[in-house]
Structure formats: structure tokens, C-alpha cells
Amino acid sequence: ELKTMQGPGHSRRPRRHGLSRSRRAELQFPVSHVDRLLREGCYAHRLSSSTPVFLTGILEYLTSNILELVGQEACNSHKMRITPEHMQKALGNNQYLSQLFEENTYSQGDGMRRDFLRSLSKSRPAG
């Protein structure tokens, strides 16, 4: 919608309302929310302006693919609602997604510390 500014000091040029980054990128997920989480998470000193847009696109793509697979699994089970069991079965049947969500996915390096400590305890000589 275009609005014109009138009065002293204003030209009759129409004013445009800003589009959100999600709308500009044609995404359903909120780019600004992902941007805020990236900045608050201190993952890097500097972030490109396209980083949250790219990450939001990836998250939306993965979510839609997973939802499609799980929906098909629920349909194959003759159910109208998706349950956690449908999710588990659909992710287990897909090689790439099961690899992505396998149990030794590390959360902010926590699992790496446990593996490192385990390897240290194994390498110590008995005595």
C-alpha cells in the first residue's frame, strides 16, 4: 500500500512500507528470529546479512521434507494425526535424515568433551 505525505517539507512522493526479510526471501519461517538467535548465541564475531536468510531457508526446507515423510508414514498407518512413533519410523527409514539425527550429534561441544574424557581414560596405563 502506498501512502503520500502531505504538508510542509514533504513531497508528494508515495511512501512504501518495508517488507520483512522473510517475505523478501519468500520464506514462511521468521528470518529476524533466526538472526537474533545467531547473534545472541555468540557463534561468530561477525555475521553476513545473508547468513540468517540462508539458515532459515535450510531450516524451512528440512522441516517441510520431514513433515512430508512423517505425513506419508501416518497416512500409510491409516491415521489422521502424526504421532512421535510416525516421526521415529520415518526418520529411521530415511538414510540421510537418520544420519543427521543419530544419537551422537553433539550439542555445543558437550558430547565432544565426553568423548575426549573417555578416550583419555582408555589411554591411561593400568597401575
Domains of the chain: 2-102 (1.10.20.10)
User: What is the predicted pLDDT for the residue at 2?
Assistant: 57
User: What is the predicted pLDDT for the residue at 83?
Assistant: 94
Q: How is residue 64 written as a grid cell?
A: 517441510
User: What is the predicted pLDDT for the residue at 114?
Assistant: 57
> Mapping DSSP to helix (H, G, I), strand (E, B) and coil, where does residue 110 land?
helix
User: What is the predicted pLDDT for the residue at 87?
Assistant: 92
Q: How far apart are CA 74 and CA 119, in angstroms?
A: 42
Query: For the chain (length 127 residues), average pLDDT per consecutive 10?
Result: 61 78 96 96 92 97 96 96 94 90 63 56 54
